[in-house]
């Protein structure tokens, strides 16, 4: 039986997707030593990013998480819809809208 994802991924910009079977992936890891190391580094980086994101969700306020996101990705609001940003931050679009207004008022 083929594995089926329970998640959806939506590209908000033009993207290129490369799909390989699990069998081909295992073969490449054994046949090409650099492929295994590359994958290991990718998995490690993704795991570390996930840990940081979870820590932020538990330790930082929504305002702090949004400000941090803007400092890392200053143009994110021009590239990604607000409801997706809210979801990424673990919030609702309405709460994010209030946070954005609050931050905008502080800057003035």
Number of domain units in the chain: 2
With contact defined as beta carbons under 8 Å apart, do 50 and 77 qualify? no
With contact defined as beta carbons under 8 Å apart, do 90 and 57 qualify? yes
- Which of 20, 47, 25, 50 has the alpha carbon at shortest distance from 35? 25
Give the pLDDT confidence of 25-53 residue by residue, as tens digits: 999 999 998 999 999 999 999 999 999 99
Q: Is residue 14 part of a domain?
A: no
Q: Is residue 54 part of a domain?
A: yes
What pLDDT score was predicted for residue 108? 59
Predicted structure pTM score: 0.74
Provide the residue range defining the domain that includes 35. Answer: 21-59
Q: Is residue 30 part of a domain?
A: yes
Place of tokens 């207004």: 101
Cα separation, 33 vs 11, in Å, equals 31
| Residues 107, 82 share a domain | yes
Q: Is residue 10 part of a domain?
A: no
């Amino acid at each position: 039986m083929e594995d089926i994802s329970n998640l959806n991924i939506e590209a908000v910009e033009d993207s290129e997707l490369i799909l390989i079977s699990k069998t081909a992936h295992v073969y490449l890891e054994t046949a090409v030593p650099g492929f295994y190391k590359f994958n290991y580094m990718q998995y490690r980086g993704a795991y570390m990013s996930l840990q940081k994101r979870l820590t932020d969700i538990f330790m930082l306020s929504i305002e702090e998480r949004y400000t941090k996101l803007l400092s890392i990705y200053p143009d994110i609001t021009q590239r990604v819809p607000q409801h997706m940003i809210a979801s990424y931050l673990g919030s609702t679009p309405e709460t994010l809208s209030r946070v954005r207004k609050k931050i905008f008022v502080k800057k003035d």
